[in-house]
Amino acid sequence: MTDFDARAVSTIRGLAMDAPHAARSGHQGTAMALAPLAHVLFSRVMTYDAGRADWLDRDRFVLSAGHASILQYSLLHLAGFGLSLDDIKDFRQWGSATPGHPEVGHTAGVEVTTGPLGQGVANMVGMAVAEAQLRSRYGSEIFDHNVFGICGDGDLSEGLSHEAASLAGHLGLGKIVLCYDDNHITIDGETELALTDDAATRFRSYGWHVEELGDVGEDLDALEAGLRRAMAVTDKPSLVIIRTIIGTPAPDSANTAEAHGYAFFDEEIAATKTLMGVPADKTFYVPDDVLDEYRKLGLRGAEARAGWEGRVAEFAGDRATLEAQLSGTGLPGWEEALPTFDVGESIATRKASNGVLQALVPVVPGLTGGGADLTGNTGTVIKDEGVFSAANPGGRQIYFGIREHAMGAIANGMALHGGAIPVVGTFLVFADYMRAAVRLAALSEARSVFVWSHDSVGVGEDGPTHQPVEQVASLRAIPNLRVMRPADANETVAAWKIAMESGGPTAMITTRQNVPVLEGTSAEGVAQGAYVLHPADDAAITLVGTGSEVSVCVEAADALAASGIAARVVSMPCWELFEQLDAHAQAAVIPRTTPSLAIEAGSSMGWHRWVDDVIGIDRFGASAPGDTVLSELGINADNIVARARALIES
C-alpha cells in the first residue's frame, strides 16, 4: 500500500464517521470496513470518466448495501463527479445531494436507487443483460464494460438475491463482479443468529465463479488481484467474498452490531482518527494532495471515453438503429407500425397487447423482455428475435422463470443501464411479488413496462387466490407509476404508444377474457386519462368505467336509454393522466352537475375522488367461470342500471 493509498483510505473512513455524526443519523461501520475495497475499485479497477458520468460504455458500480451510502458519496466527491464537500456535510438533510440511500437521477454517479436489500444485486443482473445485448448487436468495439457491485449479508439473505443470482448464473452473465462483504454482523447481532449459509457453495451451484479472498479487507493488492481474476472469467458471473471487520479500525465499537448503524461519536471518532494518522481535531478532513491525486484518477478514463466516441462516430453498421436504441426511441415513422382493430371484434386486451408488442419490436430496437413462466399467457412473447441465453446474448425474448421479484428488479437495471426498454409480464395478482421493485421503478423513474394480465375476478375457475381485487388500487397508490387499464384493443394500442413516448414506468393491466372493440375509443382520449366514449344529450347520469367494465357500462347505458334515461359513458383508462388535467378539463369529462357512478371489477378504494358512487368488488372472489363470478359480484348491466336509477332518484 502506497502512502497515497493509505491516506486516501483514511480520508474515506474519516468522512464515513463525520457525515453520519453531523447528521446524527446514518451507517458508519460498513462504509469504514469497505473503504479499502471501494478505493481499489475507483482508483485501480473501474473504467469511468467522472467528467462524463453518463458515458454509456463506462463500468457500472452498484452499492446494493445502500445503507453504506456515505461510502459511495465519499468516492464520488474524491473522484470529481460534482459532489462537493458541502454536499457531504449536508448528509441526510432536506434537499441535499446526499440522501440516506443512493438515488439515481438525484446524485451524479449513482447508477441505481438502492437500500431495500437485494434490489441492487438484481439491478446488476439487468445491467449485465443490457450490456450483453448491446455488445452482441453492435460489437465489443462499441460496448464492452463490467458491472461491479457490493452487497452484504442482508442482500444475500433476501430471497430476491437468490432469484437474481440463479438466473444470472443460468444466463452466463460474465460481466458481473459482485463483492460480498462477509462481516458476520447484522442489526440484531452476529449473522449466526439466523444465517449459516455457505454462500460460496450456493453461488457455485448457481453457476457462478467464486473468489474466496478471506481476511484481506485491508490488503489493497490482494483485493485488486481477486477482482482482476474475477474479471478474467467471461463465461459466468463472479462473486468475490471478502472477510471484513465492520467499523475497523475503531478501537471500541469495531466488530459489534452497534457499528452497523450510528455508533461512533466524538471520543471514538477522535481515537480512530489518531490511529489512522488523521488530525483528530478536524472534521470532514480531505488533504489537498489526496484530493488532487484522486481528481486525476477520476479523469483517467477520459481517453477511453474519447476513443469510444470516435468508434461510435465511425460505426459503419445500422446507424439509425443504433441511435434509436441509445436514445430509447423508435425508428423514424415507428408509429405507423401500430395496429388498429375493427369495431365489433372481440379480443382479450392481453392478446391485443401482444399484437402491439410484436408490431413495435422491429421498429423500436430497445424493446426486449418476456414473462415469469407466463410469457404466452401474458402476451409478452417476442417472436423472431431469438431467445436471450449464454449462447445467444443478442436474443430479445427473455425467459425469467418463476422469479417475479427478480424479473421486476432486473427490468429496472436494464432500463437504468440505457439502450433497453424492458417489458416484463405476469398475472396481476402476482404483482404483489414484484411490489418492491415496482415501487423503486417509480422512485427511480426507470422506463420499465410491467404487463399484468388476468386483471380481475374474470380469471374465473382458478378462484380467489388468482383473482386480483385489491391490486389495481394498490398500484394506483404508488407515486409516479402510470397505471393503464385499457377498455379494448384500440385503447391498448394507445396505451402502448404512451408508454413508448413517456418517461418512467408503465403498468399495463390487461384482460384474460375477450372484450368487444368499442365504437368511439380514442387515442387522444386515452392520452388525457379519461374521455367521453358514449355521449348523451341532457345526460341524467355519467357512468365511468375502466378496463373490461367499459363495455358493460355501454350495455347499461343502452338499457337506460331504452327506458328514457340518458346516460353518458366515460372510459377512464388512467387516473394518473387524468389528474394532470386542470379542474375545468376534468369537469368536461365527468361533470359535477349530474350524478356519476363508477364501475370497476376490483376494490372501490379511491374512486370517490372522481364520482358519487361506486360499484366495485370489496371482497375476495370465488371459483367459477369468469362471467359467472363477475355477474354474481355485481359487474353486470342489470346491477348498473339499478344502481344508476337509485343514484338519480337520490
Put residue 181 in one of left, alpha, beta given phi > 0 → left and psi -120 to 50 → alpha.
beta
Strand order in the sheet with 482-484: 367-371, 421-427, 449-453, 506-509, 482-484
> For residue 339, is the peptide bond before it cis, meaning its omega torsion is within 30 degrees of 0?
no
- Of 123, 117, 66, 116, the C-alpha closest to 92 is 66
Cα–Cα dist 482/448, whole Å: 11
Helix (H, G, I), strand (E, B) or coil at 635: coil
- Of 116, 115, 96, the C-alpha closest to 106 is 96
How far apart, in Å, are the Cα atoms of 443 and each of 149, 376, 505?
Answer: 20, 29, 9
Cell triple for 352? 391485443
Quick one: DSSP state of residue 42?
I
CB 379 within 8 A of CB 359: no
Cα–Cα dist 33/28, whole Å: 9
Cell triple for 340? 388498429
CB 156 within 8 A of CB 120: no
Q: Does an H or E element contain 223, and which?
A: helix 220-232
CB 71 within 8 A of CB 19: no
Helix (H, G, I), strand (E, B) or coil at 213: strand
Cell triple for 67? 445503507
Quick one: DSSP state of residue 186?
E
Residues 6+ apart with CB under 8 A from 92: 19, 20, 23, 25, 26, 98, 99, 100
Strand order in the sheet with 613-615: 531-534, 567-571, 541-545, 596-599, 613-615
Put residue 187 in one of left, alpha, beta given phi > 0 → left and psi -120 to 50 → alpha.
alpha
Q: Which of 158, 218, 404, 549 is catalytic?
A: 404
Q: Identify the burial level of 399 via C-beta atoms within 10 angstroms of its C-beta, where 0-12 means exposed, 13-18 middle and 19 or more buried.
A: middle
Cα–Cα dist 277/283, whole Å: 13
Is 224 labeled as catalytic in the residue annotation?
no
Cα–Cα dist 247/271, whole Å: 13
Exposure class string for 471-508: b at 16+ Cβ within 10 A, else e: bbbbbbebeebbbbbbbbbbbbbbbbbbbbeeebbbbb
Cα–Cα dist 328/330, whole Å: 7
Task: Specify the amino acid at residue 96.
Answer: S
How far apart, in Å, are the Cα atoms of 503 and each of 180, 233, 399, 441, 500?
Answer: 33, 36, 25, 11, 8
Cα–Cα dist 46/610, whole Å: 52
Exposure class string for 314-332: b at 16+ Cβ within 10 A, else e: eeeeeeeebebbbebbbbe
Instruction: Supply the residues annotated as catalytic.
Output: 404
